[in-house]
Amino acid sequence: MLAKKVQSISPSPTLAIDAKAKQMKKEGIDVIGFGVGEPDFDTPAHIKEAAVQAIKDNFTRYTPVAGCQELREAICQKLKNDNQLLYKPQEIVVSNGAKHSLSNAFAALLNPGDEVIIPAPYWVSYPEIIKINDGVPVIVATSAKHNFKITATEIAGALTSRTKAIILNSPNNPTGQVYTRRELEEIACLALEHNLYIVSDEIYEKLIYGQQPHISIAALGEEIKTRTIVVNGVSKTYAMTGWRIGYAAATAPIAKLMSNLQSHATSNANSIAQKAALAAILGPQDCVAQMKAAFAKRRDYMVQKIKSIPELNCIEPDGAFYVFVDVSKLFGRSYRGQQITDSMDFATLLLEKAQVALVPGTAFGAPNYVRLSYALSLEQAQEGMERIENFIKQLD
Distance between CA atoms of 225 and 217, rounded to whole angstroms? 8
Smallest distance, Å, CB 26 to ligand GLU?
19
Smallest distance, Å, CB 13 to ligand GLU?
8
Is 274 near ligand PMP (CB under 6 A)?
Answer: no
7-46 positions binding ligand GLU, by CB under 6 A: 12, 14-15, 36-38
Question: Would you list the DSSP string of 58-101?
Answer: T--S---TT--HHHHHHHHHHHHHHH-----GGGEEEESSHHHH
Smallest distance, Å, CB 75 to ligand GLU?
20
Smallest distance, Å, CB 358 to ligand PMP?
15
Is 43 near ligand PMP (CB under 6 A)?
Answer: no
Smallest distance, Å, CB 33 to ligand PMP?
15
Question: Could you tell me which stretch among 23-31, 58-66, 87-95, 119-127 binds ligand GLU (CB under 6 A)?
Answer: 119-127
Smallest distance, Å, CB 152 to ligand GLU?
26
74-103 positions binding ligand GLU, by CB under 6 A: 99
> Which has the closest alpha carbon to 389: 372, 367, 364?
372
CB distance 116 to 102 below 8 Å? no
Is 246 near ligand PMP (CB under 6 A)?
Answer: yes
Is 148 near ligand PMP (CB under 6 A)?
Answer: no
- Burial of 233-264, coded b for 16+ CB within 10 Å and e otherwise, reads bbbbbbbbbebbbbbbbbeeebbbbbbebbee
> Which has the closest alpha carbon to 13: 354, 373, 313?
373
Residues 6+ apart with CB under 8 A from 194: 159, 163
Sheet with 322-326, side-by-side order of all strands: 313-314, 322-326, 369-373, 359-360
CB distance 371 to 174 below 8 Å? yes
Question: Would you list the DSSP string of 226-271?
Answer: HTEEEEEESTTTTT-GGG--EEEE--HHHHHHHHHHHHHHT-S--H
Smallest distance, Å, CB 312 to ligand GLU?
20
> Which has the closest alpha carbon to 121: 377, 335, 314, 333?
314
81-100 positions binding ligand PMP, by CB under 6 A: 97-99
Q: What residue is closest to ligand PMP based on CB? A: 97
**Which residue type occupies 285?**
Q
Is 323 near ligand GLU (CB under 6 A)?
Answer: no
Contacted entry of ligand PMP, ligand GLU, none for residue 15, CB cut-off 5 to 8 Å set by kind? ligand GLU
End-to-end CA distance of the chain: 48
Contact pattern from residue 132 through residue 171 relative to ligand GLU, giving x for each residue in contact according to CB under 6 A and a dash for the rest? ----------------------------------------
Nearer CB in complex with ligand GLU: 89/121: 121
Is 328 near ligand PMP (CB under 6 A)?
Answer: no
Is 178 near ligand PMP (CB under 6 A)?
Answer: no
Which residues sit at the interface with ligand GLU, rule CB under 6 A? 12, 14-15, 36-38, 99, 123-125, 173
Which residues sit at the interface with ligand PMP, rule CB under 6 A? 37, 97-99, 123, 169, 173, 201, 203, 233, 235, 241, 246
